[in-house]
Amino acid sequence: MAAASIALTLLITPKFSPKPIPKRSPTNSRTNSSAIIASSSSSSSSSSKNGSPPDTECPVPWEQQPVNEYQSLSTSFPFSWATADLRDYFSRLAVVGSSFAILVGLPVAAFGTGAVADPSAEALRCGLGAASAGILAITLAVIRMYLGWAYVGNRLLSATVEYEETGWYDGQIWVKTPEVLVRDRLLGSFSVKPVLTRVKLTLVGLAISLAVCVCIFINVDDPRKMQDHAGVKVIAGVYNDEAARSFEPNAFLPEHDFS
The number of angstroms, rounded, from the C-alpha of 158 to the middle of its chain's C-alpha atoms is 16
How many CB atoms sit inside 10 A of residue 20's CB? Answer: 6
Structural domain of residue 106, as residue ranges? Answer: 60-223
What interhelical angle do 66-73 and 178-187 show, nearest 10?
20
Give me the average pLDDT of each 10-residue run along the chain (259 residues): 45 44 43 38 41 61 92 92 93 94 87 60 83 93 96 94 78 90 94 95 95 84 50 55 69 59
Global pTM value: 0.63
Same domain, 95 and 185: yes
Three-state SS for the chain is CHHHHHHHHHHHCCCCCCCCCCCCCHHHHHHHHHHHHHHHHHHHHHHCCCCCCCCCCCCCCHHHCHHHHHHHHCCCCCHHHHHCCHHHHHHHHHHHHHHHHHHHHHHHHHHHHCCCCCHHHHHHHHHHHHHHHHHHHHHHHHHHHHHHHHHHHHHHHCCEEEEECCCCCCEEEEECCHHHHHHHHHHHHHHHHHHHHHHHHHHHHHHHHHHHHHHHHHHCCCHHHCEEECCEEECCCCCCHHHHHHHCHHHHCHHHCCC
Is 81 part of a structural domain of the chain?
yes
Is 194 part of a structural domain of the chain?
yes
CA 55 → CA 18, 52, 59, 81, distances in Å? 49, 8, 12, 35
Give the residue among 138, 128, 145, 125 at the shortest CA–CA distance from 98: 138
The pLDDT of residue 219 is 78
**Is the N-terminal amide bond of 78 cis, ω within 30° of 0?**
yes
Same domain, 119 and 240: no
Same domain, 208 and 236: no
Contact of 116 with 122, CB cutoff 8 Å: yes
Same domain, 72 and 179: yes
Query: How far apart (Å, rounded) are the C-alpha atoms in residues 127 and 107?
Result: 10
Contact of 78 with 145, CB cutoff 8 Å: yes
Same domain, 97 and 189: yes
- Count of domains in the chain? 2
Same domain, 165 and 248: no
Is 4 part of a structural domain of the chain?
no
Backbone dihedral angles phi then psi of residue 214, each to the nearest 5 degrees: -65, -40
In this structure, is the dihedral angle defined by the CA atoms of residues 179, 184, 187 and 190, taken in order, positive or negative? negative
Query: How far apart (Å, rounded) are the C-alpha atoms in residues 181 and 189?
Result: 12
Same domain, 232 and 167: no
Is 35 part of a structural domain of the chain?
no
The pLDDT of residue 38 is 40
